[in-house]
Structure 1
Amino acid sequence: MPEHSSPADAITAYAEQAGWTTAQSAAALPETLALPLRERITLRATGELDAATWREQEARWTRQADARYRACTHNVPLGARAQPVRVGVKDTVDVAGFPTGLGLRSHRHHARTSTPAIAGLPADLSAVTAKVTTTELNIGVGSGCLNPYVPHIDPGGSSTGTAVSVAAHICDIALGTDVLGSVRWPAGQCGTVGLRMTHHCSLLDGVFPLSPPMDALGWVTRSAADLAYLWPLLGLDRIGEQTAPAPGAYRVGVVTDIDGPEGTCGPEMRGALRTAQHLLESAGHALTDVRIDALWRMRGPAWELCARQAWDSYQLWQHWVSTELHETTRTALEVGAKVGDDRYAWILEQLAQCRRTVDDAFSADGVDVWLLPLDPAAPPDVSAADARTSTIPSPQDADYDRRVAYTPIASFAGLPALTMPVARDGRGAPLCIQLVGRRGGEQLLIALAAELENVVGDLGFRPS
């Protein structure tokens, strides 16, 4: 063991052994990983990209990238097959052979089976290579991840690692869960594409429940083009009860409820919405203004529903999972404790009524999808996000109307929703729109997003 004359010498030697890097000293993204996903898959299929080269470059980059962005809780190298598509899975979703930690500091369990969406992936094309970070129980504040594209912007949550691992090129597609925006927020704030699927109870086996009526699977990719390519290739088009879209122009309903006194949209997000409107109209799609008043008013109650069900679940699982919770997690749970039984029953009645009639709302307005911003305001800086005491807003909060945001619309109605960036603000932060479709309308959302992305062009998001 070498002798060191000072702590500086010793720590420098340790840093070299550990492979520590800074943003300035980090190696560039290898060409193999920078290739468009379709091209990499083709090269692997033809053998032009041999297994040994792919494994070596992938492992070297993943070690460096995860050390910097901290996206993974557990990582494994590519196996003998060296599959071209690397899949990440949120730490609240069970995968056989991987520990599930639920985002808790002192818990893990080892599932015997994988959740159905992962068990059905083609083993010749894809491999789960990482369990990725989440906030505590989906509701704590902060994940420890760094936003790869815009480090000073909060990477969002709760499916933080789902988006960060994809943006960092550690994974090519990652599975998260979206209750009230838990996939869409990190995807949007990290400059990636996030899709919340239609709510289906049958898809949630092996998924830690937060609010069973609103829990849904969600996927993140680096681009809408990647999502469109992988969706049929990995058999994701066969999950749930999806409907193939008819070719041709679509009818887009621009949600004007954002103009009201509750949840008023900020100027930057309005600008992003106008950009999307202009580009969709230029592509030949018909746009019309719509209002979704009854559903719009349920954004706050959706949060109350989630909070109450999280609180009720906590009364049960705390007997199986003994661990100390972070203060912000406890604060979020306590919001649910304040939702009384009568209020809870009323919200559930409204949810059932909404789901019986939501398709009629699309039909009455003659539209295929709704278009609105992802949020009322641009993504927050890390410092602003760190100042929060709870991820679940309380009606007593001064900024309650803004914090309930726009993502609960799809969640309360059980609908699929996709978010994607269409511009950047002066800080370089992504400005995202949101497309909401009918039940089973995932493929239409993906097709429309891919078309929109093609005309938006390259926004310059790269790992920093």
Structure 2
Amino acid sequence: MPEFSLPADAITAYAEQAGWISAQTVPALPETLSMPLRRRVALRASGELDPVIWRAQEADWTRWADTRYRACASTAPLGTGAQPIRVGVKDTVDVVGFSTGLGLRSHRHHARTSTPAIGGLPARLAAVTAKVTTTELNIGVGSNCVNPYVPHIDPGGSSTGTAVSVAANICDIALGTDVLGSVRWPAGQCGTVGLRMTHHPSLLTGAFPLSPPMDALGWVTRSAHDLAYLWPLLGLDRLGDQAAPVPAPYRIGVVANIDGPNGTCGPEMRSALETARGQLEAIGHGLTEVRIDDLWALRGPAWELCARQAWDAYQLWQRWMTTELHETTRIALEVGAKVDNERYTWILEQLTRCRRAADAAFTSEGVDIWLLPLDPVVPPDVATANARTSTIPSPRDADYDRRIAYTPIASFAGLPALTMPVARDGRGAPLCVQFVGRRGSEQLLIAVASSLESAIGDLGLQPS
């Protein structure tokens, strides 16, 4: 009787050859990755960090981590320069040398030029080592990524891979796009720090547009201190029209609208806000309550604007794409089809008015930035998130007031916003607050977040 390989033997042999891993196996980070980022940069500059060792350890970890967390659409090894800083870029943003897939199953194009924020990175310090996963066209449900710190918690979207790649230590900083929270949600749900930049059209060249008046670049790092360190080092402080921060202490307006009938803020998120508030007061920052009634009332219309502009864009770009869209993507687009021209015109008029008045709102209240929770409720678990039929809420939804959330405030006004974790709930999920500042106040937001991070201390978030 001839001998045949049994399925168990064949699969075991294939798994060994492919390097499959057990979900329960989490190797220790090599020293080159566990050391503070600032130290790694210094050691590479001095030559004390051997480039061959650095490249090998980085490649081994990326191979393991991407198998486990599925953060990357494609990767590239560190070159002969063995730059110390690894940069990830969302797969809706063009980078020369990588294909752009837009989160679609059967689309790719190859960019002729890189988006300006990436093209200007110092080549001796930083290299793009990954295009990172996104949802379909920024609006589909789910990305198949795994949240590195809390695998049972949804990693968020649409810049999912931006946050997951950083939390998994595949990248040290990653670029995404934030329309209504697309960087801030995954950053917050993955326990990292996410900064939406001021809306600046010139920075969006090479980024797939979803809602051009609200689209903005966004960055994710593992900590506020990493972001503060990398911001000038990589020349990110020269993007757009950023202002130098005013000296500390800062005047912080705590947004009181979360307590109103449409605030819908849950007890866990309210507690996280109070934690941040107490620590900021202890540091010496001045806190006062403020109301932002006009912007608060326009959170829902911000979603309508995004949906309508996505629908209008779909009528154009479908001629270039033959891929069949996921059902959740189609449902999201159809929300926009229901926004009629009269409503659309009114929303655009409100956006123009708010943009003109945004900075004056800080001046009238005598504050530098606003503070509020990232969301009304805690991050959803994976099962809850996967049950959603659309990422874009419809006014007909029973939980509409909760789903429009708090992130559209910065988006509609075109303002920068930074989110960071300040506590964890009973499931281990990170609970985040966000700071919103005037146009061009990115460096001020980073400074405030860094001071709060020092006061909060280590939350014990580690890849698992």
For the aligned pair, the TM-score class normalised by the smaller chain equals: over 0.9
Q: For the residues of structure 1 that align with 2:24 and 2:138, how far apart are their CA atoms?
A: 33
Q: For the residues of structure 2 that align with 1:459 and 1:109, how far apart are their CA atoms?
A: 41
Residue range with higher mean Cα deviation, 38-47 or 304-313: 38-47
- Matched to 1:446, the amino acid is I
Q: For the residues of structure 2 that align with 1:246 and 1:205, how far apart are their CA atoms?
A: 30
Report the secondary structure of 1:432's partner residue: strand
Q: For the residues of structure 1 that align with 2:27 and 2:424, how far apart are their CA atoms?
A: 26
Deviations 1:387-425 (A, max 9, x none): 000000000000000000000000000000000000000
1:445 aligns with 2:445: yes
The match for 1:120 is: 120
Q: For the residues of structure 1 that align with 2:456 and 2:72, how far apart are their CA atoms?
A: 31
Q: Report sequence identity in percent.
A: 79
The match for 1:105 is: 105
- Matched to 1:12, the amino acid is T
Native 8 Å contact 1:199 1:414 kept in 2: yes
- Superposition deviation, residue 358 in structure 1: 1.0
- Superposition deviation, residue 25 in structure 1: 2.9
Q: TM-score, structure 2 length as denominator?
A: 0.99
Report the secondary structure of 1:195's partner residue: strand
1:14 aligns with 2:14: yes
Report the secondary structure of 1:447's partner residue: helix
**Structure 2 counterparts to residues 52-451 of structure 1, below 5 A:** 52-451=52-451
Q: For the residues of structure 1 that align with 2:439 and 2:114, how far apart are their CA atoms?
A: 25
The match for 1:40 is: 40
- Superposition deviation, residue 23 in structure 1: 3.2
Q: For the residues of structure 1 that align with 2:76 and 2:104, how far apart are their CA atoms?
A: 21
- Matched to 2:90, the amino acid is K
Unaligned 5+ segments in structure 1 are none
Q: For the residues of structure 2 that align with 1:292 and 1:325, how far apart are their CA atoms?
A: 38
- Superposition deviation, residue 261 in structure 1: 1.2
- Matched to 2:396, the amino acid is Q
Native 8 Å contact 1:4 1:10 kept in 2: no
Native 8 Å contact 1:96 1:110 kept in 2: yes
- Superposition deviation, residue 263 in structure 1: 3.3
Report the secondary structure of 1:254's partner residue: strand
- Superposition deviation, residue 24 in structure 1: 2.7
Report the secondary structure of 1:198's partner residue: coil
Native 8 Å contact 1:419 1:434 kept in 2: yes
Deviations 1:154-179 (A, max 9, x none): 00000000000000000000000000
Deviations 1:115-165 (A, max 9, x none): 000000000000000000000000000000000000000000000000000
Q: For the residues of structure 2 that align with 1:248 and 1:109, how far apart are their CA atoms?
A: 46
- Matched to 1:30, the amino acid is P
Report the secondary structure of 2:257's partner residue: helix
Q: For the residues of structure 2 that align with 1:350 and 1:26, how far apart are their CA atoms?
A: 50
- Matched to 1:278, the amino acid is G
Deviations 1:284-319 (A, max 9, x none): 000000000010000000000000000000000000
Q: For the residues of structure 2 that align with 1:150 and 1:244, how far apart are their CA atoms?
A: 36
Native 8 Å contact 1:420 1:449 kept in 2: yes
Q: For the residues of structure 2 that align with 1:275 and 1:98, how far apart are their CA atoms?
A: 42
Native 8 Å contact 1:162 1:176 kept in 2: yes
- Superposition deviation, residue 31 in structure 1: 1.5
Q: For the residues of structure 2 that align with 1:436 and 1:62, how far apart are their CA atoms?
A: 33
Report the secondary structure of 1:27's partner residue: coil
- Matched to 1:231, the amino acid is W
Native 8 Å contact 1:252 1:288 kept in 2: yes
- Superposition deviation, residue 30 in structure 1: 1.1
- Superposition deviation, residue 4 in structure 1: 5.8
- Matched to 1:142, the amino acid is G
Q: For the residues of structure 2 that align with 1:67 and 1:304, how far apart are their CA atoms?
A: 37
Native 8 Å contact 1:265 1:376 kept in 2: yes
- Superposition deviation, residue 260 in structure 1: 1.1
- Matched to 2:63, the amino acid is R
Q: For the residues of structure 2 that align with 1:342 and 1:418, how far apart are their CA atoms?
A: 33
- Superposition deviation, residue 22 in structure 1: 1.5
Residue range with higher mean Cα deviation, 258-267 or 423-432: 258-267
Native 8 Å contact 1:198 1:415 kept in 2: yes
Deviations 1:242-287 (A, max 9, x none): 0001222000000000011113100000000000000000000000
Q: For the residues of structure 2 that align with 1:411 and 1:448, how far apart are their CA atoms?
A: 20
Deviations 1:39-82 (A, max 9, x none): 11111111111100000000000000001100000101000000
- Matched to 2:16, the amino acid is E
- Superposition deviation, residue 27 in structure 1: 2.0
Deviations 1:338-366 (A, max 9, x none): 00000000000000000001111100000
The match for 2:456 is: 456
Native 8 Å contact 1:83 1:124 kept in 2: yes
- Superposition deviation, residue 196 in structure 1: 0.1
Alignment length, in residue pairs? 462
Native 8 Å contact 1:103 1:136 kept in 2: yes
Q: For the residues of structure 1 that align with 2:75 and 2:221, how far apart are their CA atoms?
A: 18
Report the secondary structure of 1:409's partner residue: helix
- Superposition deviation, residue 26 in structure 1: 3.6
- Superposition deviation, residue 6 in structure 1: 1.3
Q: For the residues of structure 2 that align with 1:146 and 1:102, how far apart are their CA atoms?
A: 19
